Amino acid sequence: MTHTLQPSSPEATPAPETTDIPAAPAPAGAPASSAASGSKVPAARVPAALKRRIPKYSDLAPLMQFKKPEFSKDARLKRASTIWELRDIAKRRTPQAPFDYTDGAAEGEITLRRAREAFLDIEFRPGILRNVSTIDLSTEILGKPSRLPVGIAPTGFTRMMQSEGEYAGSQAAEAAGIPYTLSTMGTASIEDVAAAAPNGRNWFQLYLWTDRDRSLELIERAAKAGNDTLMVTVDTAVAGARLRDVRNGMTIPPALTLKTVLDASYRPAWWFNFLTHEPLTFASLSRYTGTVADLINSMFDPTLTFEDLDWLRETWKGKLVVKGIQTVEDARRVVDHGADGVILSNHGGRQLDRAPIPFHLLPEVKEAFTRDNADAAIMLDTGIMSGADIVAALALGADFTLIGRAYLYGLMAGGRAGVDRTLQILEKDMARTMALLGTSRISELTPDHVRLLGK
């Protein structure tokens, strides 16, 4: 028999549908019950959301948001959310020889590969339940503020990568509130770069030449143009074996061979810009024609010693930093000879292959400086491809970082706008990484936030 309960009020829930289910036989001797003759239980009801139906236009309309394809430079750069994606754009838009000059390194490129892997082979160790509603990425380097803990490193032949060259880099750095470093081998003069970014913080990178009078002339020009820091590079006694350049027949300026003409056919915008702007000139050289290696070997002094650093310290009245430090001992010695800071660098892997990795050297140098009560700044370059890399370096003891290739990828991808995009990507990376670590200021980063895997 089926029993139906009548609702006691209009709001009462109707009785669920029921279905007959045969009752199981009662065990021998068991008392009789209503279950012995079968009972009814509610049938499973299919939820409305799972029933198939023809979709309504009102349901589809919010999903149909087709956008007109955009092919402008701004749209192209906006789609790039990592430095690697900027590199992909740069490779498509730049002839092989200039791109490989930026992208490549010495010999088997082992050093560059290891430098990048060093940043991957870490484990971040976040703290939780911290107030990270506001992230402050500002810092102080060599006595002055920087809005971000990263600056632009010196790069040679920069207008060869893209016609805006050093002007794009210095202006982007000025807008971002960070230092910009002009190379001795830069393709814009000290004075022109200072004029292009009059409110920026400009540094000058010096290669000491065999001709000391020419070096002194550069130092005086840098000081007169308002550069507050001199960065002397000490890891180029001779040129490294940059095999990509050898294979590409890389010369300064680029030569119009059959290979380069064919390459240009796929990248007409680069060649149009190159051929319709002022020919490449250098911050410190008269016009030069030949290979990069020949230029380095003919101009730079392989007899440099620490006594030359003493001469620089006496000559230059601003901040003095030494770039190319690859051992703890040399870091301590240059500070003893008057350096205000050191840059742990292996020249982006472009000189000695299998050289020490700056990121691995960093904790040892930090420990040595702490033990010596040295207040010299510790900076680092080589291998940085994300804001997380920068945060890791700061946590392990760096006061500041520098980017070279990452900036040039942006430059090749889109000129000044591409450099801006590089810095935007890095800033966003850094802010997100710090928030997820539970830190709101750079001063809160400690070695406890990073563990080197395998150590």
Tell me which H or E stretch contains 412.
helix 405-437
**Both tokens of residue 196?**
């292009």
Within 10 A of 161 (CB to CB), how many other CB atoms are there? 24
Strands (E), 312-362: 319-325, 341-344
Residue with tokens 């000044």: 416
- What's the rounded Cα separation, in Å, for the pair 316 and 446? 34
The 10 Å CB-count burial string (b at 16+, else e) for 14-41 is eeeeeeeeeeeeeeeeeeeeeeeeebee
Sequence-ordered alpha helix ranges (H) in 316-386: 328-336, 358-372
433 residue type, one letter:
T
Tell me which H or E stretch contains 204.
strand 201-206
- What's the rounded Cα separation, in Å, for the pair 233 and 438? 37
Least Cα distance to 401 among 387, 411, 413, 415 occurs for 387
Tell me which H or E stretch contains 146.
strand 144-146
Q: Which residues contact 168 (CB under 8 A, 6 or more apart)?
A: 162, 411, 415, 416, 418, 419
Within 10 A of 256 (CB to CB), how many other CB atoms are there? 11
Which DSSP symbol is given to 209? B
Helix (H, G, I), strand (E, B) or coil at 26: coil
**Both tokens of residue 259?**
């290979």
Diameter over CA atoms, the chain: 119
Four-residue CA torsion sign, 80, 84, 86, 91: negative
Within 10 A of 448 (CB to CB), how many other CB atoms are there? 9
- What's the rounded Cα separation, in Å, for the pair 302 and 297? 9
Question: Which active-site residues does the annotation give?
Answer: 347
> Which residues partner with 151 through β-bridges?
402
CB 229 within 8 A of CB 204: yes
> Which residues partner with 150 through β-bridges?
401
